[in-house]
Structure 1
Amino acid sequence: MTIQMSSQERESDEYDAELSVNLTGFGRFNIKVLILCGLIYMNTGFSISSVGLVMPSAACDFNLTTVDKGRISAVPMLGMFFGGYLWGCFADLRGRKKGLSVALFSHFLFEIISSVVPNYWGYLCLKFLSGFSISGQGVILFSYLGEFQPTKMREKILCWLEMAWSLGLIALPLTGWAIIPLNISFVSDNFFFQSWNLFVAICSLPSLFIGLWLCSFPETPKYLMQAGEDAKWAQVLERMYKENTGKSYAEYLEKVSKSGVDSLNERLLNAKSLAVKTEKLSKTNESMVISRIYKQSIALFKPPYLARTSIVCTTMFCLGSSYYALMLWFPELFKRFGDFEVKYPGESTSVCRISKYSTETNETVAIVNECPTHIQTEVYIHTLILGAACVPLSLILPLFINKLGYKFYLIVSSFIASAVTVGLFFAVSSTQNLILSCIFEAFSSVGMSIVLCMAVDLYPTHLRAMATALCGAFGRVGALIGNSLFGYLIDNYCITLILIIAAQLLACSVLGIFIPLEKKNKNVDTSTEKISTP
């Protein structure tokens, strides 16, 4: 509904919405939503990271230089930048579920088409659209998952998404290892289809299947309440309560009446009659949509949200620039180490030295017109280890988040990732590089997830998806710049590149101290009105 509400009315609605969810308890329904959102986040990490495995394999077919490879990894980030905030606006105005559905199905469509496009620039355009679509998954799912969870469980449940991201990073090299080395080749004058094309096509399928499963889930109760769709809101609460407790809706209403919150009790009892009125109003106020987007966007940059918006967006920019700059290029770095060690067995080297060696080798290859057609097995193994290294921290994060808090994890993880980046200067073998890469991947990915989890707690329902999307958009800008810098600097300005990444991560650690995140009471009594609100 697009009716304007006062800040006091919004606070009252926010309180009632929080209480209504808490009273449904925690059980089977919440776990199902967690699994769904975990699969979406796993698909996000899988799809974004798949670019790193495609680059070495597609280099021959597209005749790619290092700068060309940089474009392939950067263009999806450009699409994610343009898409992120628009998806957030869409989710706040039309619903979290609808936003996720459109994002999943459109991502499948663009990826499946990109798998058969034989032209480099056509492939780039589709990767831009794919990035645009996948950004919707990343920024909306945190709001979708968080708005179904009771207060005392929200932080822990949101943090479990980090495990899903880690599983996506593990599934990626296993899938690539099974498909890319296959002897599949169909080549004509205007078309080719290699094993890496099949890999891209298979990577698109999870979006389709997850999108179909999402159709069986409801919109979040908090969004429906804010939108004035009271009948649907009551139906979702009924479904949640029945699946979580096995009890009837009448018992839920009795529980609400005992809470002592008359406004919530009255609204639930009159849900059907109120819904008819508000649905008619929403249809006659479409002209107010643009005005609402503008006002909600401006609200993010006004007190009391200005300071937190500035800090979390800057933090996300630095994390995105550092994380994606290295993560998408790790397979390429592993390949370069492998090429060097095959030619010079037993000789020590470093990241910067293999980059110079790669430049010289590329020039020689261009002269003799040869092109390697296979990725060394070690590249898949190293990428698999990289994903597996994230699992321990992904388990620790939700287990101790209530005791240590978001800020602790953000500050510590960013500092360690910065120190490890500096450590790349001192790595003299592929094994040492792998160890440092694993530590970097584990701690920097935690930092990215923590910032998005924070956004759910830092903003109220009517601003939450938009704020998360804005935060994600700044992360994509950072990713775009980081990828471009890596492509242009790694061969000739390696030392400068590593110092930039380390400095950005250190800045994230410092900024984490100033994020205005209040510690909330997690011991919520869901049988009374004494309940904390976000």
Structure 2
Amino acid sequence: MKNQGMSFKLMLEESDGPADFETAISATGLGKFNLLLLLIAIPSGWAQVFDTKAMSYVSPVAQCDLQLTLENKGLLNAITYIGILSSGFIWGFLADSYGRKKLLVACYLLDTVFILSAGISQSFTMLLISKYFAGFIMNGPTAILISLLSEFHSSTHRARFFLCQGLFSNMANVILPVMAWFFFKQNLDVVIEGLELHNWNFYILLSALPSVISGFAHLLLPESPKFLMSVGRNEEAMDVFRKVYSWNTGEDPESYPIKVLVDETDSKTDVENNNSDVKDVKASGGGFKEKAWNVVSLFCPPHLWIIIFLSAVQMGYKMGLNSLKNWLPQLFTAMNDFVEANGRNGEFCMVLDTMAHNHKNVSADCVVNYNNSDVYTNLMIVQSANIFSFLLTGWVINRLGNKNLFIILGAISGACGGAIYFATNSVTVVVLSTVLTAVSAVNAVVFNVSVVELLPTRLRTMAISLTRLIGLVETIVGNMIFPYLLKSGCAPPFLYVGIITVGCSFIALFLPKEKNLA
């Protein structure tokens, strides 16, 4: 690290002008501060997963206490996504106006409040409202965290850091069934101050822990130096750079080799530093006109056709596979209940018919089967596949290419989803679900890479935001209609997943192979 600092000092001596952000953050090196950032990013990533996935584990166990129908369970699976969707782009505006740190602390602590509210819920309505607002709030830190993490790393280390953060965050998908196994294998009823709390209440309350940790942990971090520079607070940004440098190298903060920062609010400085993006903005008559033209050009040929195909692919993929993955805890519970009631495995169609019949009217004598260790063991196996697939993503993409890989993996995941219909035992369902989960995790990464490579730099952020928005809508729709498909018969839900996913792969055939279209 000392050698790295010296190299930047020598480089600075050769340069007459002030340093831009990339030069300044590179000079801070890589060390203890970045490790701290990674450690804080882990519970922050877990908080998002816990918010969006916890209800799929809760609904099978809470069905008697809350008198849940299949339609109620579909709404519980979708409600957090509805909250995320309804908050729109408000958090990006607030983060660019007031900074990253304050909003991250406020959002995670507010999210904690709404999760605790969900945890003490005594009715379906109270649980639904609490989870809606948790989703509304969680949309903020999800987007802001990405900006904050990127703004504390140079381009040299940024991609590797996100890979590590994504890998550790994916572990939350395994933690959830472990927590469920701990709480849901036995009946637990406690009355505290008039509140009747069951095992699922404690499960939700514990799921607030990552948000609590994240809220207080972000108090330890400084404000993003990139944000400070963008609003003209260069002295504060310099203080942040010095602290990070000192943490990473162990040197005195005053020995930080950079002494002057570019004034990013000065248009003359932008031109002197040959900032082409800023020049384009000036030439077009201002930032607003440039952004407006970017929006228009996104929906004009040749980009229009790419957006249409990408949106169609995203739409089908999220409606099909995301819905099925969110319903896996319920499907494994139904299989386990069938074995407990009949003493044998049954054909999957028989299991689903029994489940649909039991959910037509939730009676007062409803009983939850707490001999359910197999349910959560199966889910741990399925969710562990996400971690291994994440490790293989970069290696596979480089060898097959984005388009070819997306088509192949889409076909495999669609085939696995449809093949569940023919399963005759729980082992077959676990194997097919594991392959489906692993393949779809890789394909989600491939899709984002495809968006980046098929569109020019000035349109990428808007395109990713648009496709993410479409994905949220379709995840909500898919979770809402899946219970109706389950009630309509055995074949419809799985043929629906198979056909719609394979159809997405067919649509992907029409995506161009060119990269970075102008």
Query: What's 1:111 paired with?
Result: 115
Contact 2:229/2:263 (8 A) holds in 1? no
1:62 CA displacement: 1.1
Equivalent-residue separation in structure 2 for 1:500 and 1:71 (angstroms): 19
| Contact 1:84 1:469 (C-alpha < 8 Å) held by counterparts | no
Q: 1:479 to 1:148 in 2, by over 3 A?
A: same
CA distance in 2, matches of 1:439, 1:369: 38
Question: Where do 1:456-475 residues align within 5 Å?
Answer: 470-475=466-471
Instruction: Flag the 1:269–1:96 CA change in 2: closer, same or farther, 3 A.
Output: closer
Aligned to 2:227: 223
- Between 383-392 and 82-91, report the one with greater CA deviation: 82-91
TM-score (norm 2): 0.78
Distance 1:360 1:198, change over 3 A: same
User: 1:238 Cα deviation (Å)?
Assistant: 2.4
Equivalence for 2:207: 203
Conserved? CA contact 2:29–2:248, under 8 Å = yes
SS in 2 for 1:483: helix
Higher relative contact order (CA closer than 8 Å, sequence separation 6+): 1
Q: Deviations over 1:253-273 (max 9, x none)?
A: 35x9xxxxxxxx5627999xx
Paired residue secondary structure (1:26): coil
Which residue does the alignment assign to 1:479?
475
What are the equivalent positions in structure 2 for 1:315-394 lying under 5 Å apart? 315-350=313-348, 352-362=349-359, 366=363, 369-372=365-368, 374=370, 376-394=372-390
Aligned partner of 1:140: which letter? I
Deviation of the 1:311 alpha carbon? 6.1
CA distance in 1 between partners of 2:334 and 2:204 (Å): 23
- Structure 2 CA distance for partners of 1:403 and 1:92, relative to 1, 3 Å: farther
* Superposition deviation, residue 136 in structure 1: 2.3
CA contact (8 A) 1:91 1:465 kept: no
- Decide which of 79, 83, 100 is 1:79's aligned counterpart: 83
Alignment partner of 1:301: what SS? Answer: helix
Distance 1:486 1:395, change over 3 A: same
* 2:234 is the alignment partner of 1:237: no
Structure 1 residue 99 displacement after superposition = 3.4
Distance 2:454 2:236 in 1: 26
Structure 1 residue 515 displacement after superposition: 8.6
Do the aligned residues in 1 keep the contact of 2:413 with 2:435 (CA within 8 Å)?
A: yes
Contact in 2 for aligned 1:389/1:439 (Cα 8 Å) = yes
The whole-number CA distance in structure 1 between the counterparts of 2:264 and 2:293 is: 33
1:502 is aligned to 498
**1:71-470 alignment runs, 5 A limit:** 71-186=75-190, 191-247=195-251, 252-253=256-257, 267=262, 298=292, 301-303=295-297, 307=303, 315-350=313-348, 352-362=349-359, 366=363, 369-372=365-368, 374=370, 376-397=372-393, 413-449=409-445, 470=466
Q: CA deviation at 1:459?
A: 9.6
Q: Of 37, 49, 63, which residue of structure 2 is paired with 1:45?
A: 49
> Partners in 1 of 2:112 and 2:31 — Cα distance?
31
Counterpart Cα distance in 2 of 1:440 and 1:360: 27
Q: Structure 1 residues 429, 373: closer, same or farther in 2, change over 3 A? A: closer
Matched AA of 2:357: E
User: Cα distance, 1:125 vs. partner?
Assistant: 1.0
The question of whether the paired residues in 1 share the 8 Å contact of 2:24 and 2:241 is answered with: yes
Number of residues of Structure 1 aligned to a counterpart in Structure 2: 475
TM-superposed deviation, 1:209? 1.2
Deviations 1:432-470 (A, max 9, x none): 111111122222234335556777899999998877655
Secondary structure, in 3 states, of the residue corresponding to 1:215? helix
Identify the residue that residue 68 of structure 1 maps to in structure 2: 72
- Residue in structure 2 matched with residue 287 of structure 1 by the alignment: none
Deviation at 1:94? 2.9
Q: Distance between the aligned counterparts of 2:297 and 2:231, measured in 1? A: 24
> 1:253, 1:431 → 2: CA distance?
60
Superposed CA deviations along residues 346-393 of structure 1, whole A, max 9, x for unmatched, are 45412x442222122445874x83322536221111111122222211
Distance 1:270 1:370 in 2: 65
Greater alpha carbon shift after TM alignment, 181-190 vs 97-106: 181-190
Q: Does 1:488 align with 2:501?
A: no
Q: Secondary structure at the match of 2:149?
A: helix
2: distance between equivalents of 1:88 and 1:294?
16
2:208 alignment partner, SS class:
helix
Tell me, what secondary structure is at the counterpart of 2:220? Answer: coil
Distance 1:102 1:319, change over 3 A: farther
Partner SS, residue 29 of structure 2: coil
> Are the equivalent residues in 1 in contact too, given 2:69–2:361 (CA < 8 A)?
no
Identity %: 25
Relative to structure 1, is the Cα distance of residues 327 and 89 closer, same or farther in structure 2, using a 3 angstrom cutoff? farther
Distance (whole Å) between structure 1 residues aligned to residue 309 and residue 402 of structure 2 = 14
Q: Secondary structure at the match of 2:197?
A: strand
For structure 1, which segment, 431-440 or 38-47, has the greater mean C-alpha deviation from structure 2 after superposition?
38-47
Unpaired runs of 5+ residues, structure 2, are 1-18, 270-285
Letter in 2 for 1:91: A
Contact 1:100 1:140 in 2 (8 A): yes
Moved more, 459-468 or 490-499: 459-468
Q: Residue 10 of structure 1 corresponds to which residue in structure 2? A: none
- Kept in 1, the 8 Å contact 2:230–2:264? The answer is no
Letter in 2 for 1:215: L
